[in-house]
Amino acid sequence: MAHSVLDRNAALARSNTRPRDRIRRLVWKIAIATLLLMAVGSATRVMNAGLACPDWPLCYGQLVPTEQMNLQVFLEWFHRLDAAAIGLSAIALTALSWWDRRSLPGWLPWASTLALGAIVFQGLLGGLTVTELLRFDIVTAHLATALIFFTIVLVIGAVLLPYEGTGTVGKLPWVGLTSSIFVYLQSLLGGLVGSQWALHQCFGYQQLCSVMNAHLAGVVPPTLTTATLVVLAWRTPALHGTLRRLAKFSGFLLLLQIGLGIATFYLHLQVEPLTVAHQATGATLLGTLVVFTVLALRDRAATLASTP
């Protein structure tokens, strides 16, 4: 009798973890696709392909513009295709979250709905970038919303990860959060530089335009906070291995991002892969810091809950 009860409880526990595992796998796939979407969007801009498809949502009135296809048209078309796939995935995520809500954390359906709202708004901004002929404020808002959606998805994924902290995070969650905010704001400044072609308007160190100058000055806060995160993680010997690896990866991405930024500046955006890599690395750094912050907050919350 006791064995049958245990078997039923184990079976119930497995059935409750299946929806969670399914959601977690879907969320991480969406996160990877979103990172790809932003990289392709960057390539579309630096290759002057933002208006390669003159209409929206179709391209030359077709789902696949085979006759007009070239590199620029392909970039813009593939960017839309990836965005559509992410949108459908976000719909599936929301539907699954509500369908299995009894087996999932109560916040998850609402968070999924928030992500769906963000990607719908992102799609509308994508359409406006074409119909408004790449207006810089709409292009920047398009990037800002993409990064917000990316962040929401990563927060969901990080909360659903199996993780047990060591209770040694200290102030690391707040350093990670601060660094994430600074990297996000710096990414938006970078988006403004690109959407206004600010670098091409700046002729020398003494004649930098305000947008480019703000982007250069904006390097300091995320650099200092991310470096602080790396140092604090290194000086915390009992820190969870996952947090330690994320901190090290953040430091590597920071150095890579600075190097790519310097190369992009001196080459005046003439090497498109460098520019794309610069923006993609910035998004990856933001995502790494977001995951670090969520796991560190989970670590801290578990420690506070266990403290009598």
pLDDT at 307: 58
pLDDT at 4: 52
Consecutive 10-residue averages of pLDDT for the chain (308 residues): 46 63 96 95 85 90 91 93 95 96 94 97 92 86 95 97 91 97 94 67 58 84 97 94 97 96 80 88 97 96 69
pLDDT at 7: 45
- Domain range summary for the chain, segments of one domain joined by +: 20-162, 166-307
pLDDT at 2: 45
DSSP sequence for 41-72: HHHHHHTT-TTSS-SSSSBTTBSS-TTT-SHH
